Structure 1
Amino acid sequence: MSPPQAADPVGTHRVLEPAGVLPQQALRLDARREIWDDEVRVRVRRLNLDAASFRQLSEKHRGDGGQVRAEVLDIVRSRGKMQNPVTGSGGMLVGVVEEVGPDSPLGLAVGDRVATLVSLTLTPLVVEDALAGWDGRSEQVPTDGYAILFGRSIAARLPDDLPEELSLAVLDVCGAPALVDRVVRSYTGPDHRGPVVAVVGGAGKSGSLSLAAARQAGAYGTIGVVPHDREASLLRESGLADDVVVADARDPLALRDAVRAAGGPADVTVVCVDVPGCEGGAVLATADRGTVVFFSMATSFSAAALGAEGLAADVTMLVGNGYMPGHADLALRLLREEPGVRSLFERRL
C-alpha cells in the first residue's frame, strides 16, 4: 500500500493527533511499515531509554521489571513511539537499515548498522517481540521491531571496533561532550586561561564524557560532583576530574559549598543528573557571568530561569539539545582516547 500523502522531511506526515504539531509534540504517530520516498526503515535491535525516563518508570513500579516492561510496551503501542508521558523523554536505538527510500538524503544503505541520533519521542516505532528479551531492570532494551527515520533525521553508522552495547551507551549522550567542548573553547578568562568546569553527575555517562571533553578543550580545572562515596571512588579511580566532591545536587547550599571548597565557584557548571531539583544549586555553584549547561531531561527550565532571577544571578543558561555537528565522532573519540571514560561506561554496562 502506498503512503497517501507527500512526505515532509521533519515528519509531520506521520502525525495522527493533534494536527499541526511536530512529531515530538504529537500524542500519536503513524508507525506503518511502508515508507515514504525520503524515509528509511530500520530493523531495531536495541533501545536505550533515557536515564530520566527509566528512573521515573522504575521508581513508579518500585523496581518491578515486569511492570516497567508492560508500561513501555503500552506506551509504544498506544503512541506509535517511545515517549514517557511523565518526563516527556524517550531515548534512542540501534538497528540495521532494512529499506531506504529513493529520495532519502541520509546516505544510508540496506544492511548498515546504525544508531539513531534523534530521540525516540519523535521516531515512529513498532515493537514486534513484546520485549520478551528484556527484564525491565536496565536502560538498554534488547528487542525486535522496526523504526522509521525521516528525511531530516540523523543516524550514525556503528563503529566496527566497539561492542554494540557500548556504542549505544556513548551515542545516547554524545550531545553533552560536544556542547561542553564548544563552551570551554569559547571561554576567555583572566590571563587567557580556560574555565573551571564543574560537572554535576560526573561519574555518569554524559558526566564522564563532559569531564573528558572539558579537559581536552582546555579547562583550567575540573570538578566532578557525585552523590555518594561509591561513585566518588569510581570517579577518582578514572582520573577524569582534578577534584571530586560528594554532595546532594538537590541541596542548593551543599552543592554551592562543595564546589567552592574544590576551587569554585565554577565558570562553567554542567548538570548531567537524572533527578529533578538541581537547578538552584547549579546556579549558586556558578560564578557571575558564568555558564550553566543543563543536560538532563529532569530539568525544570522554569525553575532554572525563575530561580536565577530570584538569586540575582548573572549567568548564561544553556539547554543541551542533543545535537551538534560532529557530536558522535567526538564522543567516540573521547571513549577511545580516555581510559577513564571507557572504564566508567563498561562498569555501568
Structure 2
Amino acid sequence: MPAGDPLGTHRVIAPKGALPQPAERLDNDFSKVYATEIVVDVQTLNVDAASFRQMEEASGGDPDGVAALVLETVKRRGKQHNPVTGSGGMLLGVVERVGDLAKARGFVPGDRVATLVSLSLTPLWLDRVLAVRPASAQLDVVGTAAVFLTAPIARIPTDMPERLVLALLDVAGAAPQVARLCGPGDTVVVLGAGGKSGLLCTAEARRRVGEKGKVIGVESFPTYADDLRALGICDHVATLDARDPLAVRDAVAPLTEGRGADLVLSCVNVPGVELAAILAARDRGKVYYFAMSTSFTAAALGAEGIGRDVDLFIGNGYAHDHAEHTLSLVRASRPLHELMQRRYT
C-alpha cells in the first residue's frame, strides 16, 4: 500500500506540483488505496452558502439544476470545487476504511463523521444525488470521499440532529475567530447577522463584549432580522442591504457616536459588501471577512481608496478546537439552538 503524501498531493492530477485545494483536478479513483487516507461513504454534502446561492441563480432556482451542476463539477474536477465562487463546503458520512498511517487519528470503520475541511480540496466521487435541500444548502448523495492525513475531521455528536451538526460545523471557524478579535466593552457590527455564520458570530460577540459592549446586527432579509431581534443578542438590528456602503455607514454612525465599530464581521454570502464593512469600522479598527464571496482585492484597494487605516482579516475556516467551540456555543443558548434546529433540519 503506497503511503500517499500527508497533504494529499498524490491525488493531484493537474497542474502537477499543486496542492489539492488550488488544483484544477483531483484523482477520485478510490480503487487506489493509500495508507495516509481515511475513506468515507458520503451521505450528505453541505455546500457553502456563496456556492449554493450561485448555483441556484445559475439554474433559475431549480433544485434539479443545482444537482446537475454539482454532478458536473465533481465529474470534471474530482471534487466539489465551484468554478465560479472557488468554494466548496463539507460533508457527512460513515468511515469505510482507515489507512495504516491514519489509524493513530482514532477513527474506525462505522464512525459517523463530518469533515472540517473544504470540499474544494476533498477527492470526491458521486454515484447520484438523492435530494437537494435549499433551506440548508445540503444535498443527500451516494458517494465516496478521501480525507487526507492533515485534514481535520470530527465524529458526529449524538445530542444534536445530524443535519444541524453538519450545518454548524460548516462554519465552525467563525465563532472562535470572533472570540480572538474582540473583548469586553467593544462595539461589534455583524453584516449578514441573521444568517448561519452571522448568528454564530453575533452570539459569540455578545458573550465577549459583555454588558458594557455593543453588538449591532445588519440583515437584509426581514424574517432573519426578526429572528435576530427575538434572540435578544443585539443592541440594535438594522434591516438593510449590506451592499449599500453608505446606508451601512449612516446606520452605524449614530449608534457609535460617529466613531465606528471596533470590529466589523462580514458574513454576507454575496459579493459587494467589502466597502460597507470598512466604512462601519473605526480608525485602526478590525474588519473580518468570513464569507467566501469576498473579493480581497476589493477590500484592500477599497480601504486604500478611501484612506481607511483598518486591519483586514481573511476568514479562516479552521481554528484549534473550533468544532467543540461552536457546538458548545449553540448548546449554551436554548433560543439559538431552537432557531438553528428549525432552520437547518
TM-score range, shorter chain: over 0.9
Q: Please name the residue that 1:176 is paired with.
A: 174
Q: d(CA) in 1 for partners of 2:263 and 2:181?
A: 8
In the superposition, relative to structure 1, how do residues 270 and 112 fare at CA in structure 2: closer, same or farther (>3 Å)? same
Tell me the amino acid that sits aligned with residue 134 of structure 1. V
CA distance in 2, matches of 1:94, 1:137: 17
Q: 1:331 to 1:136 in 2, by over 3 A?
A: closer
Q: Secondary structure at the match of 1:317?
A: strand
Say whether residues 1:23 and 2:16 are aligned partners. no
Distance 1:108 1:65, change over 3 A: same
Task: Report the TM-score when normalising by structure 1.
Answer: 0.93
CA RMSD, aligned part only?
A: 1.5
1:209-224 aligned within 5 A = 209-219=200-210, 220-224=213-217
* Structure-2 separation of matches of 1:133 and 1:332: 26
Per the alignment, residue 264 of structure 2 pairs with 269
Please report how far the alpha carbon of residue 138 of structure 1 lies from its aligned counterpart in structure 2 after TM superposition.
5.1
SS at match of 1:114: strand
Question: Are 1:240 and 2:240 an aligned pair?
Answer: no
The 1:97–1:295 alpha-carbon spacing in structure 2 relative to 1, beyond 3 Å, is: same
Offset, 1:36: 0.7
**Which runs of 5 or more structure 2 residues have no equivalent in the other structure?**
none
Between Structure 1 and Structure 2, how many residues are aligned? 338
Q: Following the alignment from structure 1 to structure 2, what is the Cα–Cα distance between the partners of residues 138 and 245?
A: 24
2:45 match: 47
**C-alpha contact 1:239 1:340 (8 A) present in aligned 2:** no
Using the size of structure 2 for normalisation, the TM-score is: 0.94
- In the TM superposition, 1:132-281 aligns within 5 A as 132-134=130-132, 139-185=137-183, 193-219=184-210, 220-263=213-256, 265-281=260-276
Distance in 1 (CA, whole Å) between partners of 2:84 and 2:24 is 13
**1:89-128 equivalence runs, <5 A:** 89-104=87-102, 105-128=104-127
Tell me if the contact between 1:65 and 1:137 (Cα under 8 Å) persists in the aligned partners: no
Secondary structure (helix, strand or coil) at the match of 1:103 reads helix
Where does residue 316 of structure 2 map in the other structure? 321
Alignment match, 2:288: 293
| Aligned mates of 2:224, 2:131 — CA distance in 1 | 29
Please state how far the C-alpha of 1:262 moved relative to its aligned partner. 3.0
Residue ranges of structure 1 left out of the alignment (5+ in a row):
186-192
Per the alignment, residue 188 of structure 1 pairs with none
1:189 alignment partner in structure 2: none
Distance 2:178 2:33 in 1: 37
Letter in 2 for 1:276: P
SS at 1:55's partner residue? helix
Which residue of structure 1 aligns with residue 10 of structure 2?
Answer: 13
Please report how far the alpha carbon of residue 178 of structure 1 lies from its aligned counterpart in structure 2 after TM superposition: 0.9
Distance 2:304 2:334 in 1: 40
Percent of aligned positions that are identical = 49
Aligned AA (2:313): L
| Conserved? CA contact 1:114–1:157, under 8 Å | yes
The CA deviation string for residues 306-344 of structure 1, in whole angstroms up to 9 with x for no partner, is: 000111111001011100001101100011012232233
Q: Matched residue of 1:171: which SS?
A: helix
